[in-house]
Amino acid sequence: MNATHTPIKQKPTTKQQVIVDEFTNLKSLCGESAIAFFKMSLTDTRKAKEYLLGITHNATNESFPDGTASARKSGTVLLEKFSANGETPLKRVVVRYSLVDEQGNNLDDVEKTLPDWFHPEKIYQHFNGKAVSLE
């Protein structure tokens, strides 16, 4: 994989959803390529109409490339999910940063309950032409 940065010269017209599981393990699995990918994913994906969903099980600073802490906090949303038995997810979630309430107040370290529509298949369908039902 080429880890050099090439600026986006032509604005894409189609959107693409990219899902990367075990996001924080990329650094140990792929080395410098993963570090470059992660740093560019904080800015370049938005410009390229790429919507990146990174799933991690360990969102600590040492899991990510050096120098990305402030960019992660301003350019990503961190939700912490929970499980009662280590396998089955609960609807309980803590918003760690980057979401706001209806008045624009930051929701930092705020516990919430996920709505029924917050499910991978329903979100996938939303990005593929099916409206999310909030009922």
pLDDT in tens, 4-48: 555 556 676 777 777 777 777 787 888 888 888 888 887 766 667
Residue spans of the domains in the chain: they are 13-58+68-76, 77-130
pLDDT the model gives residue 87:
86
The dihedral region occupied by 105, where left means phi > 0, alpha psi between -120 and 50, and beta the remainder, is beta
Q: Which is higher by pLDDT, 100 or 2?
A: 100
Q: Answer whether residue 111 shows pLDDT above 90.
A: yes
pLDDT the model gives residue 20:
78
Centre a 10 Å sphere on the Cβ of residue 95 and count the other Cβ atoms it contains: 19
Q: Which is higher by pLDDT, 125 or 47?
A: 125
pLDDT the model gives residue 108:
92
Task: Extract the tokens encoding 85.
Answer: 């038995």
